[in-house]
Structure 1
């Protein structure tokens, strides 16, 4: 690729974005380390570093960017750097003149009307220049300012969506980056209501786009979080101003939270309402928000009610009485988040008996929910331990250990009267449990204790375990390890039927060199070649492995 015509080797989409970055001055720093070796900083969502090496004839020998883009050979930051380096090198070749200084003199000498006419003419041809000129001044009123934001959002959507309106995985990060940059620039206003209006436009589009975009990388979620945080900041600012600003913003947030765009994403609507808590210090604002939350609560399902209860709880904490909070906790204690808060408050007040009873009742109520059962037992364990009830704490620690929580083994060491037998007892309890959670803890425990006999027993029972334990077992049980490794290799070969699986087989063989030695691995390869001589793809992969071993 050459700087003179690199455009021919890069996709049109990447070039379009890169050229805009170049024209907007996003290439903020260029350092030439040695002749032809450059380090460039390009401003995106954050600053990205581009390193490149260019030969005297313009050939790009090396190029790399610190951004996470991995959907093609060149990202928009690299291409923007190419434009900038090309400009710099072209200017060097014109070293006998000073074009920028001469141009400045020409422009300064031009009549104002003629200069405006020239800029207007050029702006009609160049959309990026037109937007840059518009961006230098704020529109006269809020309406036109918001209209400008909406036009910018539409332009970003047009840039990244296909003809069916879908935004593919390769485009989502750049779409979100550009929307985030728009949010940063256009929300930088003094009026908190206007700031929130800008963020709302972007939030609504981002949530709506979740229906027709591949956001498996999570870029939209980050954009949504940023927009809500901007609205929260606006609410915080409005709370410090005259009442009118806070009143306006609260009503807007209430209306926004009911938008149909949230029908499938209620939790985002709830996060938006959390942002309004910044306005809750004013009593009638708090009352208005509480009324709205209660209205939503009556219509919500059980899952969404938990979020709404969190907001109600926070509203009461911020402006309600202790009596009001206690009534609230009693009324809604059947909800796990409210019960958790009730337990925490009782414990902080020294009412440990009450806190323990609340946790025990939680276990009874949520006996069909493994996650909540574990939570209530963990809370009860901490309460019993804190109050010196070792026997009860030890019972709970055993339950939690068997339920998959290895950290309670350390707790049992402190609590157990017979710590010498603790390890053997723990192993037996975990084996007897017969659940996958207990098995996971068992394997972690024998690994932690470096229990070689148990590792060997596990490897006999499940030969694939030899890849985890082989190196530690080889010194003590070399023959057994070799036998298990051979069994594992042959079983894996028998189950393999395509090139991908043959490559995985070869990876296991290669890893085995450090466990059973090169000679035995080579012997296994010879045996595989004989047993599977009619599988050319496997033989091909084995041949590659042999060359790699001997290289």
Structure 2
């Protein structure tokens, strides 16, 4: 057995490091952490790069280190436990520069190391000495400020967020504030990415104010940072809480102007504005904004809009909505949903003629009123697909549609259609093979 183990260790040097790290107390210091992580990385690294297939092996050293973190903290050495996590985090971020992490394995290890730090700090904070707290705080602040995080903002800010635990100490809070201000100053020259980083810094500053400075300073800080969407949303939610709906509307309109090129934010501010109009009972503005939502394919506002009109007035609005969709060349699930809700099978039939592929999910709504037309659209659609089909994947797709059609069409007509396809495309053996499977 000893001979076998020695042979394996000679063949795979990283195994010796692993065994020593796991079982020899003298080999679990921070230098050994770096060594075992490097052993696994270098074992699969080829000219400085780690291929996709080797990434899961390359992180095994980091996983071994993280396995020992909890016990190290439980044994009372929280500084060492945090340092072990930082070693994993820093080496994995460096590794990301030269590997294919398509599956996010390395990123997952980094997330795990940060979660471990957060757990250690939150669990043992009250029992740490001031000296221990200061050591951990400085370790985190130093790592968060390292240039390796320039392209990986999420982990940088995760570390800075953990620093908040220590800010009951005014001096340490001042250090964190200074770090954030320095980052904000440098971010101002970096365009969109700088704006994002600044907003993240501001969010940490807000947390500090919420924890240690009171609500009045919190409100003032939010109001001075409305250019950041997270802060505008907080201001809107606060105004809702106070039933200050006119203020909500102003905040939303300003946000819509500011973020007119950011579609997601634009819709968010309009959604809040609509809710404010609802609370105010402002029917006219609900109508205007609701119609805009409907014409932008948001079906959730269709019935809301409908109940704002009496039945006779609604018909005119409905016709305007339908004609707007009918003037476009593209398919619209919104238009389909309206036709089904309003029970307008004649328009639905015209739509299916214009977009034959929609028959696959609309046939059930058409059959009761237009059975023959439904069959014909199915047949025409399948014939058109067969004309352009050139490979087995396309043939299978046609056969799947035929199987759907079997639930609609007369069994005899379906068989006749399949036979017609076999005769027409007798020189396509793959197609004949797939058609034959239907009969089976």
Normalised TM-score (structure 2): 0.83
Q: Which runs of 5+ in 2 are unaligned?
A: 10-14, 188-193
**Residues 179 and 131 (structure 1), Cα distance of their counterparts in 2 relative to 1, 3 Å cut:** closer
Q: Match for residue 30 of structure 2?
A: 146
Q: Which runs of 5+ in 1 are unaligned?
A: 1-117
Q: CA deviation at 1:333?
A: 1.3
Q: Match for residue 404 of structure 1?
A: 297
Q: Which moved more, 1:404-413 or 1:173-182?
A: 173-182
Q: CA deviation at 1:274?
A: 2.1
Cα RMSD, aligned residues only? 3.3
Q: Match for residue 194 of structure 1?
A: 80
Q: CA deviation at 1:248?
A: 1.8
Alignment equivalent of 2:67, drawn from 184, 188, 201: 184
**Residues 381 and 235 (structure 1), Cα distance of their counterparts in 2 relative to 1, 3 Å cut:** same
CA distances 1:146-168 after superposition (whole Å, capped 9, x unpaired): 22222332233345555652231
Q: CA deviation at 1:461?
A: 0.8
Q: Match for residue 467 of structure 1?
A: 360
Q: Match for residue 312 of structure 1?
A: 205
Q: Secondary structure at the match of 2:407?
A: helix
Matching of residue 429 in structure 1 with residue 321 in structure 2: yes
* Separation of aligned partners in 2, 1:526 and 1:468: 25
CA distances 1:202-232 after superposition (whole Å, capped 9, x unpaired): 2233333444444333444433322222222
* Separation of aligned partners in 1, 2:106 and 2:413: 52
8 A Cα contact 2:245 2:279, kept in partner: no
Alignment equivalent of 2:174, drawn from 256, 267, 287: 287
Q: Which moved more, 1:477-486 or 1:394-403?
A: 394-403
Please list, as runs of the form range in 1=range in 2, the aligned pairs for 1:11-410 lying within 5 A after superposition.
124-127=6-9, 128=15, 131-132=18-19, 134-139=21-26, 145-158=29-42, 161=45, 165-168=49-52, 170-172=53-55, 179-180=62-63, 182-190=65-73, 191-237=77-123, 239-240=125-126, 241-300=128-187, 301-410=194-303
Normalised TM-score (structure 1): 0.68
Q: Match for residue 371 of structure 2?
A: 478
Q: Secondary structure at the match of 1:367?
A: coil
8 A Cα contact 1:229 1:275, kept in partner: no
Q: CA deviation at 1:396?
A: 2.5
How many pairs are equivalent? 424
8 A Cα contact 1:463 1:484, kept in partner: yes
Q: Secondary structure at the match of 1:263?
A: helix
Q: Match for residue 12 of structure 2?
A: none
Q: Secondary structure at the match of 1:340?
A: helix
**Residues 339 and 174 (structure 1), Cα distance of their counterparts in 2 relative to 1, 3 Å cut:** same
* Separation of aligned partners in 1, 2:108 and 2:318: 43
CA distances 1:459-482 after superposition (whole Å, capped 9, x unpaired): 111001111112443343222122
Q: Secondary structure at the match of 1:166?
A: coil
**Residues 211 and 424 (structure 1), Cα distance of their counterparts in 2 relative to 1, 3 Å cut:** farther
CA distances 1:493-513 after superposition (whole Å, capped 9, x unpaired): 233233333333333333322
Q: Secondary structure at the match of 2:369?
A: coil
CA distances 1:139-198 after superposition (whole Å, capped 9, x unpaired): 37xxx5222222332233345555652231x45556668745642333432233322222
* Separation of aligned partners in 1, 2:89 and 2:328: 44
Matching of residue 547 in structure 1 with residue 436 in structure 2: yes
Higher strand fraction (1 or 2): 1
Q: Secondary structure at the match of 1:516?
A: coil
